[in-house]
Amino acid sequence: MVEHRPRYELHFHVSVQSAVVRDPNKVRQIFQGNLARFTCDPLHQLPADLPDFTGRQDELERAINLLTTTRPSGEVAENTPTSRFGITAIIGMAGVGKSALAIHVAHQLKQDFPDAQLYVNLRGTESQPLDPLDVLAGFLRAWGVDDLSMPDNLTERSQLYCSFLTGKRVLVVLDNAHDSAQIRHLLPDSSSCAVLVTSRKRLAALEEAAPLELDVLPEPEALELLQKLVGIERVQAEPAAAQQIINLCGRSPLGIRITGGTLRNQPQCPLENYWLELTQEQQRIAQLSLNHQDVRTSFAASFKQLDEISTRLFRLLGLLTGQNFAPTVAAALLELEPVTAEQFVKYLVDLQLLEPASVGRYFLHDLMRLFAKEQLAIEEPASERQAARLRAARCYLEASEIVNLALKPETRPLLAQVLSDDKHQSLATAEQNWFLAALNWFQLERMNLLASIEWAYQAQAWDIVVPLVSYLVNFFNIYADHADWERTHLLALEASGKLGDPQGEAQTLTNLGNVYALQNAWDKARNSYEQSLVIFGELGDSTGMAKTMGNLANVYCQQDNWEKASEFYEQSRVIFRELGDLYGEAQTLANMGIFHLKQSHEAEAGVLWQEALTKLPPNLPKSKRVAQWLELIQKPISVSETSEGSAQTGVKPWSPLEFAKNALQWFRRS
């Protein structure tokens, strides 16, 4: 019967049901699309190979030879193993096909480097190239390192990264590098690894890298690529026009692809007509003295063929800061239904102005991104740009509210129960799949989500800032992303004040207290909790008061202030009990057990944990954690065994004090 359901389940059931009832198709679309991608191994990161990759046979063979042939250590840096695989840098101008070749080479070498193929677009040609510190964080997360274990400085992070690669056969693809400094700390020092770099300029400071100069396509290969795109019959019917077209494209693969995409969508257009149009565009662009003239010529001619909606979509995509996007964001930018917007996205893909990134996601080549931003600045007034940013931000707000339900242990089982339509799949498996899909979504959208917060803050859209920040807390917690957690919540704290939202202000202060506590900044944590407690009290929010009192008790426990800790734990417990909130009471009981264990009161801790287990549902991670603790005090073993799941040799014996120092954080992160 519903009336006997524990209070925590009633509350969370309502939140799950309301999200699903509002738009069940959107919920399923978000999770299922990301679930499909997450089934891939996180250590095998290569983008899809081009199905119509053309030519470059000599360069392909040379790159493979350089990457798989060992060389004496004297040819590389000192203190390296006796031999190592190669480091190859593909150098060439924009649009010449460096990334396409690198990805094609990497796919040919997957069997040579079976342990991992790591890939990152370093965005070296943009105004803000990726920081190697952030790149290393991404690589380390792929190896299973969470941010709580992530070193803060570049040298230590690089050393940890190299330690994971030692003895493993790994290919690292560093695409679109800005300079040698950006990639220096991304190079493994293991003889079993190889590195493939692409850049527009020579990496002179990277002496160990063998350069592979990439020029435009030879004429036969350029014609072959055009044939693949528009059909061999059309090229053979107008060979002179085809020849002129590839020359006007500068025999640049990107330029030919853009032109070919347009011609493929205009099967009745004679090649000669398009050649004349390209000629006019080339003359116009030459007068402007702009960079990348060959690709610009192809782009300008293709861009003129677009309908009004496709044109606007292309330039609005220049607003996005993430490396790729989903069609739902395009729908928000255009104020269209997702199904309709996706048709325009696919049209841009057909024209080679957009590229598929993974299942259901797309990206702009760096030159296309540059052109989109240029068109955006020319055609869209500042007010329209801001309005489009806010539409995208609201799109991310709605999606993150839904996806966050799958990151919360309390709501995830109910979400799986409501959404699962596979009768052959257990609910436990479904729950894990929803969690992985949600985590993948937040990882993919991280940059766009953070940008959305900034956009909303700059536009004083406080009603977006406050809730969007709150929906990111679980993601920040899982990855221990303390820097973004604190930074975004300081913005949300100001926003909640501007909005006149005391509830949001109190919750934001609580979340700030949590991130400070996770960093052992106890005074800052206590100050945040004390402020939130005052606001919850003024609002008459008993649940908020009980949670905050428990948080304050945790702080005092860590500071060995037993009297204050005991006082706040007891107050928290009493309020939760009066509310009938079994889940809240169980959490407080579990923390009280840690409090007693820290004082070496093992018997009292055991009693409290046993009581907590009677109130917690058995399938929650926190329930399993408390059960482990109870077993621990009944049969002492090493701390390493309890945290890692297997006994380790050479660890010092378990002690209540050492265990209790870490238990509060373990419980908070479970």
Checking if the pLDDT of 1 tops 80, the result is: no
Class of domain 390-622: mainly alpha
Q: Is residue 278 a contact partner of residue 297, using CB atoms and an 8 Å limit?
A: yes
Q: What is the C-alpha separation between 304 and 79, in angstroms, rounded?
A: 57
Contact partners, residue 171, CB within 8 Å, separation at least 6: 67, 106, 109, 110, 112, 113, 116, 117, 118, 193, 194, 195, 196
Higher pLDDT, 301 or 58: 58
User: Looking at residue 33, what is its pLDDT?
Assistant: 57
Higher pLDDT, 387 or 28: 387
Checking if the pLDDT of 365 tops 70, the result is: yes
List the beta bridge partners of residue 325: 362
Checking if the pLDDT of 84 tops 80, the result is: no
Nearest to 569 by CA among 626, 580, 558, 12: 558
The three-state secondary structure class of 475 is helix
Q: What is the C-alpha separation between 320 and 563, in angstroms, rounded?
A: 52
pLDDT grade, residue 620 (50/70/90)?
confident
> What is the helix (H) or strand (E) element at residue 339, kind and residue range?
helix 338-350
Checking if the pLDDT of 507 tops 70, the result is: yes
pLDDT grade, residue 90 (50/70/90)?
very high
Checking if the pLDDT of 54 tops 90, the result is: yes
| Average pLDDT taken over every residue of the chain | 84
pLDDT grade, residue 658 (50/70/90)?
low
Class of domain 57-213: alpha beta
The three-state secondary structure class of 197 is strand
Residue 334 exposure: Cα atoms within 13 Å on the Cβ side: 24
Please state the domain extents for the chain. 57-213, 219-303, 308-380, 390-622
**Hey, what are 184's tokens?**
């220096």
Checking if the pLDDT of 289 tops 60, the result is: no
| Orientation angle between helical segments 382-407 and 24-38, nearest 10 degrees | 80
Q: Where is mean pLDDT largest: 201-215, 480-494, 623-637?
A: 480-494
> What is the helix (H) or strand (E) element at residue 130, kind and residue range?
none
Residue whose entry in the numeric block shows the structure tokens 């191994």: 41
| Orientation angle between helical segments 293-303 and 253-264, nearest 10 degrees | 10
User: Looking at residue 63, what is its pLDDT?
Assistant: 94
Average pLDDT over residues 215-242: 95
**Model confidence over 402-434: pLDDT tens digits?**
889 888 877 787 777 777 666 667 777 777 778
% of the chain surpassing 70 pLDDT: 83
Q: What is the C-alpha separation between 283 and 304, in angstroms, rounded?
A: 15
User: Looking at residue 5, what is its pLDDT?
Assistant: 31
Q: What is the C-alpha separation between 374 and 356, in angstroms, rounded?
A: 22
Region of 40 on the Ramachandran plot (φ > 0 left; ψ -120 to 50 alpha; else beta): beta
The three-state secondary structure class of 356 is strand
Checking if the pLDDT of 8 tops 50, the result is: no
**Model confidence over 330-364: pLDDT tens digits?**
999 999 998 899 999 999 998 888 988 877 889 88
- Report phi then psi at 426, rounded to 5: -70, 155
Dihedral over alpha carbons 129, 132, 135, 137 (to 10 degrees): -140
In this structure, which CATH number among 1.20.120, 1.10.3210, 1.10.8, 1.10.3470 belongs to the domain 219-303? 1.10.8
Contact partners, residue 272, CB within 8 Å, separation at least 6: 238, 240, 241
**Model confidence over 476-502: pLDDT tens digits?**
988 878 899 999 999 999 999 999 999
List the beta bridge partners of residue 171: 117, 194
Contact partners, residue 464, CB within 8 Å, separation at least 6: 390, 393, 394, 397, 452, 453, 456
Checking if the pLDDT of 532 tops 50, the result is: yes
pLDDT grade, residue 639 (50/70/90)?
very low
Distance from the Cα of residue 356 to its chain's centroid: 17
Region of 597 on the Ramachandran plot (φ > 0 left; ψ -120 to 50 alpha; else beta): alpha
**Hey, what are 414's tokens?**
């109910």
Distance from the Cα of residue 625 to its chain's centroid: 28
**Model confidence over 434-458: pLDDT tens digits?**
887 788 889 889 999 999 999 999 9
Checking if the pLDDT of 376 tops 90, the result is: yes
308-380 carries CATH number 3.30.1370.60? no
Region of 158 on the Ramachandran plot (φ > 0 left; ψ -120 to 50 alpha; else beta): alpha
Alpha helices in 540-561, H assignment, sequence order? 542-558
Higher pLDDT, 663 or 490: 490
**Model confidence over 577-587: pLDDT tens digits?**
999 999 899 99
Residue burial 18-39, b: 16+ Cβ < 10 Å; e: rest: ebbeeeeebbebbbebbbebbe
Residue whose entry in the numeric block shows the structure tokens 């993430």: 322
**Model confidence over 117-157: pLDDT tens digits?**
999 999 888 878 889 998 998 899 888 887 667 888 899 99
Checking if the pLDDT of 368 tops 70, the result is: yes
User: Looking at residue 29, what is its pLDDT?
Assistant: 66
